[in-house]
Amino acid sequence: MTEPTASTDPHSLPPEPTRRGFLKKLLAVVVGTVVVAVPAAAALMVFLDPLRRKKGGAAAAEFVPITPLEALPADGSPRRFQVIADRADAWNKYRNVPLGAVYLKRAPGGSADAADGGQGVVAFNALCPHAGCFVDVDADGRSFRCPCHNSGFNPDGSLKAGSVSPRPLDTLEVDPAALARGLVAVKFQNFAAGTPLKETA
C-alpha cells in the first residue's frame, strides 16, 4: 500500500490571495460599514435632537392669552388668573395645561392703546421670589403678601419693609397689540426663587 504524496501540480493548489483581491475585500468592508453607519448616525441625531435644542437654550417665551381686558377692574385692583397653555418637554407636547398664575391690574393712568407700550395693564408672576409660594392679595385689596414667610409687596410689586424676599414681584411683559384688541396676553415665565436677580428658572 502506497502512501498519498503531496501533489506538486500548480493547478491543484488553492490560489494565493492576490493584492487586488485583498483590496476588493477591504473596500467591501468599508462600503458595508458606511452603508450601516450613515443611517444609524442619522437616526441617533434625530433621537437626540430635542435634547440638543434644549441644551442650546430655551426658546423665547411667547405671548399667552389670559383674559379679556374688560375682566380687570377699572380701579386698578389686582385679579389673579391661571395661565393655561401648551407645554412641551424634550419629546412630548401637552395641550392646555396649567403653567402657573399671574396677577393682572390696570396701570394707574395707563390706557389699553398699543401706542403706550402695553402699560395699560401690569402683570406679575404670582409666585413669591423668596421660596416660590403663591402670593395673596393683602387685606387692603391692592398690595400683596406671601403666606409662607410673610413677605409683603406694595401695589407696584416693590418690597415692603421687613420682607425676606430677595427681590420684588417678577413682572411679565404684556402684549400691546393684544391690548389694543381688548385682550390681555403675557409672556409667561417662571423665575428662579431665592436669588436677588430675576433669572429664568
Segments making up each domain of the chain, as ranges: 10-55, 63-187
CB-based contact 169:153 (threshold 8 Å):
yes
> Which pLDDT does position 55 carry in this prediction?
45
> Which pLDDT does position 23 carry in this prediction?
78
* Mean per-residue pLDDT, 130-137: 95
Domain 63-187 matching CATH 2.102.10.10: the answer reads yes
Where residue 116 falls among pLDDT bands split at 50, 70, 90? very low
Burial 14-50 (b: 16+ CB within 10 A, else e): eeeeeeeeeeeeeeeeeeeeeeeeeeeeeeeeeeeee
* 3-class state of residue 123 by DSSP: strand
Between 19 and 152, where is the model more confident? 152
Q: Is the pLDDT of residue 113 over 60?
A: no
> Which pLDDT does position 140 carry in this prediction?
95
> Which pLDDT does position 107 carry in this prediction?
87
pTM of the model: 0.66
Which set of grid coordinates corresponds to residue 58?
430655551
Average pLDDT value over all residues in the chain = 81
Q: Is the pLDDT of residue 85 over 90?
A: no
Where residue 56 falls among pLDDT bands split at 50, 70, 90? very low
> Which pLDDT does position 124 carry in this prediction?
97
Alpha-helix runs per DSSP H in the chain: 19-55, 176-180
Q: Is the pLDDT of residue 100 over 90?
A: yes
- Most confident of the following: 40-44, 88-92, 121-125: 121-125
> Which pLDDT does position 86 carry in this prediction?
80
